[in-house]
Amino acid sequence: MEAYIVKAYRSAIGKAGRGALRFYRSDDLAVDVINHLMAQVPDLDPSRVDDVIVGCANPEGEQGLQIGRQISARALGKSVPGIVINRYCGSGLEAIAMAVAKVRGGMGECFIAGGTESMSAIPMTGYKLAPSYKVAVEQPNYLIGMGLTAEAVANKYGVSREDQDEFSYQSHVKAANAIDKGFFESEIVPIDIHQVYVEDDQRKTRDYTFKVDEGVRRSTTVEALSKLRPVFANGGSVTAGNSSQTSDGASFTLVMSEAMVKELNLEPIARLASCSVAGVDPLYMGIGPCAAIPKALSQAGMKLDDIELIELNEAFAAQSLAVIREAGLNPDIVNVNGGAIALGHPLGCTGAKLSTQLFNEMKRRDQKYGMVTACIGGGQGIAGIYEMM
């Protein structure tokens, strides 16, 4: 039984800690996106959704209490179950892959899959970091911070500071161009924000609609980026300017069986041809896609030359450039509308967000095969290949 993606939407991405979504809960955001998605399929009874699969990299605090179930009950009704999964930066894509696998395995006909993350609400390492003493002694690289893995990748693969800053600059240029041309408008769910704040010792409120990714720095230059200090290692090359932005966002897809697609007379967007994960040395976490991409291509019976468009999560410029070079990717088809350095990286949401962007750009270009790939904290990579319908 084949599975198809029939709808895919996302929120605009907010700057963590200071952007439009900094006080907006990620479960509320997910409900908003899912409600919009369901409104586009009025003939689908919500009770027919078999499960809601929610990727979330830090499911604690405001994202605790099994956030997947909280989202499913609120968005679709208490009869619809929900689950939260965590493959860190790969969670959103993993959620889609799980939904597709369940349909193909006959374990359901309709799933909502994606991810949500508030990096404003939850610290990067959670509220209570408690690493294993044995691991710290025996395998300290298993616990290494992400910024230091980027430095390690830059050193091992010879990625210069100049190349990192140029890559980052281009990410902002491409993202600004995409926003100006309206490339993201059809995929973004407008979010109504009610803000309460204090100004001049007075309580004030502000209401507005958030619908444009706010991480793009239009005024940045290579020169300005080159002046930023390294933030992870003395004498290093990884800076705040050539790293992904901490972000808030949500993105979800609707995955259906072929039978249900025909029953509801829907036009499918795409199918997931393959999805693979692979492990790598945690010290060089960022190189993960180089291990996952060949597996995904093999699963799909394809070659790299068959892929026409790629969304590579820009965890760091050093990591992105190393992957592009080592995996032999064509840079002209990678992140044509910018990446996480400009648009943000809301962890558990990112894989679904990149998939949504890929679908829309491939449709605009009338292309057939595309790929979403990302490195994953702890030393993993994920790659998913989509076929447009």
Q: Give burial (CB, 10 Å; 0-12/13-18/19+) of 209.
A: exposed
Closest CA to 57 of 48, 49, 47, 67: 67
Phi and psi at residue 358, to the nearest 5°: -60, -45
**Residue 347 and residue 90 in contact, taking contact as beta carbons nearer than 8 Å:** no
**Residue 345 and residue 244 in contact, taking contact as beta carbons nearer than 8 Å:** yes
List 56, 89, 290, 349, catalytic entry: 89
Bridge partners, 370 (sequence order): 309, 386
**CA–CA separation, 351 and 357 (whole Å):** 10
36 is catalytic: no
**Residue 94 and residue 85 in contact, taking contact as beta carbons nearer than 8 Å:** yes
- Amino acid residing at 76: L
Q: Give burial (CB, 10 Å; 0-12/13-18/19+) of 112.
A: buried
**Residue 293 and residue 327 in contact, taking contact as beta carbons nearer than 8 Å:** yes
**CA–CA separation, 31 and 255 (whole Å):** 17
172 is catalytic: no
**Residue 4 and residue 269 in contact, taking contact as beta carbons nearer than 8 Å:** yes
Q: How far apart are the first and last CA of the chain?
A: 16
Residues whose CB falls within 8 Å of the CB of residue 306, separated by 6 or more in sequence, listed in order:
297, 369
Which ranges in 80-239 belong to alpha helices (H)?
Answer: 91-104, 133-138, 146-156, 161-180, 222-226
List 110, 275, 349, 375, catalytic entry: 375
List 36, 290, 345, 349, catalytic entry: 345
Distance of CA 292 to the CA centre of its chain: 16
275 is catalytic: no
Closest CA to 260 of 33, 101, 45, 35: 45
Q: Which residues are catalytic?
A: 89, 345, 375
